[in-house]
Amino acid sequence: MTLRAPSALPSRPLRAPSAPPPRPQVRLWAECPQEVSHDFGASPLCEIEVKLHVRNTSRTTHLAFDFEAAGSAAAPKPELPAGAAGAAGAAGAAGGPPAPGAASAFAGVPSLCTPGGQSMWLGRTSLKREWLEPGEVTVLTLRAAVLGAGVYLLDGYRVSLCAWRTDTSQPEQPFSPPVACPLPVGTAVSVLDTTP
């Protein structure tokens, strides 16, 4: 029996298989006052500052995230009767609808209404591809607004991971589809009307 040497394999460069995307490691928590006092007679709009902390808990992976407040650009903005700031506070507190054809007190103010119209987000309502280094924390300062006294659950936003990389010199790898981050328990705030 004659043994033959194995034939030579064709020479071609070997490529390392692409690494699978890392398990997302982001922690979110929100801070805002538990109680806010506001004079709705003097100003129909009560703003509440919400600080959303986003932390990359990975020790080795850079992560990029998108932030978006609930609602859409087409969501209607609250309408207030012209010159009736006090009535607006009362209508908001009672949960009544705005007067038809009323002038908007928010003309030109970027905002998004939450699905129930209970509160709205003012100012920056979205952020795209914000990168976090391993272990880094960033704080997004958000502004919610309400039109009357009551207890409000300020949870109308979402955060999703859109890309990752192992080093800043490496090309980014997209998450496809983006990975939704578990949101913190909704932050409740009690708004008190101090109108004399």
- Decide if 71 is inside a domain: yes
What is the side-by-side strand order in the sheet with 157-165?
Answer: 126-132, 62-69, 157-165, 173-180
- Decide if 87 is inside a domain: yes
- Rounded CA gap, 135 and 62, in Å? 9
- Decide if 11 is inside a domain: no
Residue 119: predicted pLDDT: 84
- Rounded CA gap, 1 and 4, in Å? 10
Q: Which amino acid, 148?
A: G
Q: Indicate which CATH number applies to the domain containing 163.
A: 2.60.40.10
Q: Which domain holds residue 185?
A: 26-193
Measured CA to CA in angstroms, residue 118 lies from 1, 83, 135, 173 at distances of 88, 22, 35, 38
- Rounded CA gap, 50 and 123, in Å? 12
Measured CA to CA in angstroms, residue 154 lies from 47, 101, 115 at distances of 12, 28, 12
Residue 154: predicted pLDDT: 86
Q: What is the pLDDT of residues 62-120, one digit of tens each?
A: 999 999 987 533 233 333 333 323 333 333 333 333 333 333 333 333 344 444 447 88
Q: What is the pLDDT of residues 17-34, one digit of tens each?
A: 445 556 668 999 999 999
**Burial code of 51-66, b = ≥16 C-beta within 10 A, e = fewer?**
ebebbbebeebbbbbb
Q: Which amino acid, 49?
A: E
- Decide if 15 is inside a domain: no
Phi-psi region of 135 (alpha: psi -120 to 50; beta: other; left: phi over 0): left
- Decide if 7 is inside a domain: no
Q: With 90 as the cut, is the pLDDT of residue 137 above it? A: yes
Sign of CA dihedral 59, 139, 64, 21: positive
Residue 67, CA atoms < 13 Å, CB-side half-sphere? 19
Q: What is the pLDDT of residues 140-160, one digit of tens each?
A: 999 999 999 999 888 888 999
User: For residues 76 and 104, is the Cβ–Cβ distance under 8 A?
Assistant: no
Q: Count structural domains, the chain.
A: 1
Its pTM stands at 0.67
